[in-house]
Amino acid sequence: MNKPIRRVSVFCLLLVLALMIRANWVQGVDATALDANVHNQRTVIEAYSYPRGDIIVGGQPVTKDLLVNGNRYKYRRAYVNGPMYAPVTGFSSQAYGSNLLENVENPILAGTDSRLFFRNTLDLLTGKQKQGGNVVTTINPKVQLAGWNGLQGKKGAAVALDPSTGQILGLVSFPSYDPTSIAGITDVQKTWVALNDDKSQPMLNRALRQTYPPGSTFKLITAAAALETGRVTDIDAGTVTPDPYPLPNTKTNLNNEAGDTGCLNASINEALRISCNTVFGKLGAEIGTDRMVQEAQKFGFNSSSLTIPVGVTASNYDTKMDLAQTALSSIGQFDTRATPLQMAMVAGAIANDGSLMKPYLVAQERSANNTVISQTSPQQLSQATTPDVAAKLQTMMVNVVQNGTGTTAQIPGVQVGGKTGTAQHGVNNSDNPYAWFVSWAKAPNGKQIAVAVVVESSNTLRNDISGMMLAAPIAKAMMQAYIGQ
Amino acid sequence: MTTTGSLTATITPQGAPNRRNTELSLLVFAVLVPVLAYAETGIAMDGRLPAGMLGYGLGMGAFALLAHLSVRRWAPHADPLMLPIAALLNGLGLVFIWRLDKAAQLHPNYPAAENQLLWSGLGIALFIAVMALVEDHRLLQRYTYLSGFAALVLLALPAFFPARASDHGAKIWLHLGGFSIQPGEFVKILLPVFFSGFLMVKRDALALASRRLLGLYLPRGRDLGPIVVVWALSLLILVFETDLGTSILFFGIFVVMLYVATERTSWVVFGLLMAGLGFWAVALTEGHVQSRIHEWLHPLPASGGGVGQIAQALFSLGAGGTVGTGLGEGHSWLIGFAAKSDFILGTIGEELGLAGLMAVLLLYALLAERGLRTALAARDPFGKLLAVGLAAAFTLQVFIVAGGVTGTIPLTGMTLPFIAQGGSSVITNWALVAILLKISDVARRPPPGTAVQPNEGP
């Protein structure tokens, strides 16, 4: 019987050999892919097994790490003033991943960034608990709070930035949500579903990720193009503009919202003050599509690569249009769409003598013990217009606030320029219009701020006064919060 | 092997060394390794040595020593490797179960290690009892038909008891109050005893009385009877108790023993054909079996939904990599409810890595190999058959469970011998090792005479 027993032995050996080969395959060859599998919870468990770094606003962390010692996760993320800072921080959820700063700055916050390697190794050797690094934002808490308070009960967004550096001072979206409510793993599903199903879209970052038709605020860019091309040299000289203005090659007339109160042959200074559609529509058509596209892009339109470092949705200015469409686009209608950040950049570039600074949200990245790892330095994105044109635009914008549609943004003793906008919304303008206000302020102490506010209007006012009534006071509050300190 | 060579009269009177001291020194390591692993787990998980460290070490040591003394007393020439390997596996198993007990994420947080320790003690008691009571393994031959009958009854029993929700689909438990046993485990010994006795008597008829067809020996119908019965029985187990693993195991034992007894390859071919046919038929009709096969082929879901245990086990193994995360520092509790039993290999793979997993597989291979060597060395056909049957059963079980956990074959849910949580399994395996030791004791015992030793039994 020994021969078959030997064969059985070989068979048994082969069985064990098969197991060994398979074990080598799984633990050697497949291991990396298995570790990276989305269903493998080890990465998340590891990430929450030590405190995450903080996101810092105005010297104070707006994030917290709670030691929960739960079944799976030792720590859980929590947020200070969660809803107010949600458009800045985003969320870091054990169940649903992360977004915004929590997502793009994860290597620093989680302490996995290679620049933290040396410190981590040191901590490992000295037995110190692993800890993530900190992210210092450029947000000014007072500006943020002013925007937040202003938008209460409305729906919309506000962005404020420093025109000379591009530092984002405020980033508000309303309605918002509390990231703490979805940070955990248990009992968060209901909240998550409710937030996602909510028609008011509380999780939508309107400041960075939503585009709106910019309406009359776009006239600033048309004015810049008109001045740059020399089509207008004197801002107070009358233009040759009929009212209404028949759109080129069509039988459609372009009307003015405010009625026939002075738009006929108005100068661009006057046209901007009372927001004449006819003057800027005609100017846009005269400048031509290509030149208008060029101008819009200098101010940041059509750029899908802008990161602050959070990705920003591209604002749109169509590149292929006939003259009638260009005329409409030149007053911020047709397909033209802009994020609130984009319009803040427009105001900022004008205030900064035509130089458009790259907006940024992260001032510094620091290790857990607050050693600075990286420092963001201001960077010019483009020379949007010449200093001379910028100066003229500033004059016109001041005129709007002093004598025009933006009087609600006046701040005593401070130079304030602005432009209102009411954007049509819906098919045949059936829905409530969007109220815009873009502005800048320069204080005697040298402080500058540019602000864009959009309110998805809740009433049915159909003229620029809605921008003045709804959006301008919010912008004013944010500007005051910054320069009045 | 001393028994296969011819020994001359000039050296045999002293006898070959019986290797009991080898066994004792190996046992020291077999106890020391788990005790150190226990300490390391405690430090990793709590930052301090486990409270019961000393007691645990002494207890393990005492168990091992008692077993060793019983071998010294009642089976002095037995193989020196089997007991240390079994003790080492059992000890490591206790550490891993204790480690998983401490994973608060596993619900219910049932302290299984204490129970397992109790069962291990009972297993070693049974081991000692076999050593003491079974004077010679041939004694078991007397209980051929009783073993067969007992095996049938034990196998059939769970089918008549109501299954519980906690059994997760397989009807293989007997619940007596708060206490449950898996009768299939005991059958793992009873069946080889029955087959050995039965085949020893019938082997000539099965081997010789046959017709030749296309180079294969076709058995006569009346000789074909038993294999058909066992085949049908294994299928019935599969159908009624939805226990794929046990049916493969029993059928595998039977085919192996039949092959060894008759030395006819045709039996293997028949066996595989019938097994294949049977499983194919069952796989077509049984949803339980189908889902297991599906899960084997596609363990990782593309997106959404929950992740199955096999995927979790594969994640565990992957996370372990080459050297593992270290004891107590893995997340294999993610596997879920069977982490301490069927899937404990995942924890080993994660925390000891590929290196540890290979070591454990080698230990199993070595234990099986010592059993098969014992079969080769045994001088009586009953002993040979029994040893090969038990060793094959052991290897098959390791293959079925480890293959399922690593995704080599469809998962069938068996316990990993000595390591996995499960009382029935632990005591059965201790008894199995005890019987193999008894057979090897007889096989390795120096012949009383001084004449040239025969190669095989009479």
Look-up of token digits 């003793």: A413
Residue A94 structure tokens: 């054990």
Roughly how many angstroms between the first and final C-alpha of chain A, as a whole number? 99
Using a CB-CB distance cutoff of 8 angstroms, which residues of chain B are in contact with residue A22? 403, 406-408
State which residue of chain B sits closest to A32, comparing Cα positions.
B318
**pTM across the whole model:** 0.74
Question: Touching check for B244 and chain A: CB below 8 Å?
Answer: no
Distances B260 to A7, B267, B268 between C-alpha atoms, Å: 9, 10, 10
The Cα–Cα gap between B30 and B371 comes to 19
Its sign, for the CA torsion B199, B200, B201, B205, is positive
Cis peptide before A309 (omega within 30 of 0): yes
CB atoms within 10 A of CB B279: 20
Res A265 pLDDT > 80: yes
Are residues A108 and A371 in contact, defined by beta-carbon separation less than 8 angstroms? no
Partners of B365 on chain A (C-beta within 8 Å) are 12-13, 16
Query: Mind giving me the DSSP string for B102-145?
Result: T-TTSSS---HHHHHHHHHHHHHHHHHHHHHH-SSGGGGGGGHH
Check CB contact under 8 Å for A22 and B408.
yes
- Residues β-bridged to residue A438: A419, A452
Closest Cβ opposite residue B256 in set A8, A33, A37: A8
Percent of chain A at pLDDT > 70 equals 95
* Alpha-carbon B320 to chain mean position: 25
| A18 interfaces chain B, CB cutoff of 8 Å | yes
SS3 string, A122-168, reads HHHHHCCCCCCCEEEECCCHHHHHHHHHHHCCCCEEEEEECCCCCEE
Determine contact, residues A337/A212, Cβ cutoff 8 Å: yes
Q: Which residues contact A481 (CB under 8 A, 6 or more apart)?
A: A140, A142, A143, A145, A146
Nearest residue on chain B to A73, judged by CA atoms? Answer: B105
Task: Please report the ipTM that was assigned to this predicted complex.
Answer: 0.90
Q: CA Rg, chain A, in Å?
A: 28
By mean pLDDT, which of A229-243, A320-334, A460-474 is the weakest? A460-474
- Is residue A157 within 8 Å of residue A201, measured between CB atoms? no
The beta-carbon neighbor of B349 closest among A8, A15, A23 is A23
* Residue-by-residue pLDDT tens, chain B, 458 positions: 444 445 454 444 445 678 899 999 999 999 999 999 999 999 988 888 888 788 888 888 999 999 999 999 999 999 999 999 999 999 999 999 999 988 877 666 567 888 888 899 999 999 999 999 988 888 888 888 898 888 888 887 777 766 655 555 556 666 665 566 788 788 889 989 999 998 888 887 777 766 666 666 666 666 667 777 877 887 787 677 777 788 888 888 888 998 998 888 877 887 888 888 888 888 888 777 788 888 888 888 765 556 788 888 999 999 998 999 889 888 888 888 778 888 999 999 999 999 999 999 999 999 999 999 999 999 899 999 999 999 999 999 999 999 999 999 888 878 899 999 888 999 999 999 999 999 999 988 887 754 444 444 44
A305 min Cα distance to partner chain B (Å): 29
* CA dist A225 → A240, A293, B51 (Å): 17, 10, 81
Q: Do B317 and A34 touch (CB under 8 A)?
A: yes
Dmax (CA) for chain B in angstroms is 75
Q: Reduced to 3 states, what is the DSSP secondary structure of residue A75? A: strand
Is A216 an active-site residue? yes
d(CA B21, CA B83): 12
Residue of B171, B351, B192, B183 lying closest to B243 (CA atoms): B171
CB B350 within 8 A of CB B331: yes
β A362-366/A355-357 pair status: unpaired
Average pLDDT score over residue span A76-102: 91
> H-helix or E-strand containing A249?
none
Where b means 16+ CB within 10 Å and e means fewer, B245-268 reads: bbbbbbbbbbbbbbbbbbebebbb
d(CA A172, CA B446): 91
Alpha helices in A37-116 (DSSP H): 42-47, 82-89, 100-104, 106-109
